[in-house]
């Protein structure tokens, strides 16, 4: 409740609320080259957290959507170019918050989980993420490190086969893709040595 009050007060003042797990809004990081008018500050404050839309509660999302709706009629004060640009951006931003809100309501009605999974699946996924996070730097890894990642992939394979059909389908493909990346990089490095 206090979080909501903080948010309302800060958004109402047209200032961004502090970053952190207990507040919406963020720093006005958009130090745009063009004039920072009040409207744009409010837009930045409301629309800078679309990537966290799924983690907000229904009340918080409702608040953000109301904030977007309040900005809409005030767009007439903007020049023609900004009106065109921000019409689209506001539409996208509001759309994502509305989408997240609808998703949560549907999930609550149908008792769908927002990614609930079994402990085995969670452990498998953690290990998969840990192994496969290094594909971007595969080139910089040594032959030993690549070989070790490949063995971890191979060790994970039987665990994934024990999962339910849908997660098994998903993770098998991802594991194979990332193993192939490491294996082809290892082959290339070994060929270079010879």
Q: Which residues bind other proteins (CB under 8 A)?
A: 26, 29-34, 43-44, 47-55, 79, 81-82, 84-86, 88-89, 92-93, 95-96, 98-99, 102-103, 106, 115, 135-139, 166, 169-170, 172-174, 181
Of 2 and 83, the one with the shorter C-beta distance to other proteins is 83
Q: What are the structure tokens assigned to 125, written together? A: 């996924």
What is the rounded CA–CA span in Å between residue 74 and residue 22?
29
**143, 186 contact by CB (below 8 A):** yes
Of 2 and 23, the one with the shorter C-beta distance to other proteins is 23
**170, 192 contact by CB (below 8 A):** no
> Minimum Å distance from CB 1 to other proteins?
25
> Minimum Å distance from CB 23 to other proteins?
13
Of 116 and 194, the one with the shorter C-beta distance to other proteins is 116
What is the rounded CA–CA span in Å between residue 176 and residue 180?
6
Which of 174, 181, 180 shows the shortest CA–CA distance to 137?
181
Of 1 and 27, the one with the shorter C-beta distance to other proteins is 27
């Amino acid at each position: 409740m206090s979080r909501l009050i903080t948010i309302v007060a800060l958004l109402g003042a047209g200032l961004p609320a502090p970053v952190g797990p207990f507040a919406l809004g963020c720093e006005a990081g958009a130090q745009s080259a063009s004039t920072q008018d009040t409207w744009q500050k409010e837009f930045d404050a409301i629309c800078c957290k679309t990537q966290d839309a799924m983690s907000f509660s229904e009340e918080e999302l409702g608040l953000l959507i109301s904030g977007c709706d309040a900005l809409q009629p005030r767009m007439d004060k903007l020049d023609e170019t900004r009106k065109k640009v921000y019409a689209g951006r506001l539409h996208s931003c509001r759309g994502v918050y509305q989408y997240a809100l609808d998703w949560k309501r549907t999930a609550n009605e149908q008792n769908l989980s927002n990614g609930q999974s079994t402990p085995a699946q969670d452990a498998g996924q953690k290990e998969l993420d840990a192994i496969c996070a290094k594909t971007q730097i595969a080139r910089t890894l040594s032959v030993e490190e690549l070989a070790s990642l490949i063995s971890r992939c191979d060790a994970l394979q039987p665990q994934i086969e024990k999962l339910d059909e849908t997660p098994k389908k998903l993770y098998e493909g991802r594991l194979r893709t990332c193993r192939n990346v490491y294996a082809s990089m290892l082959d290339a490095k070994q060929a270079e040595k010879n």
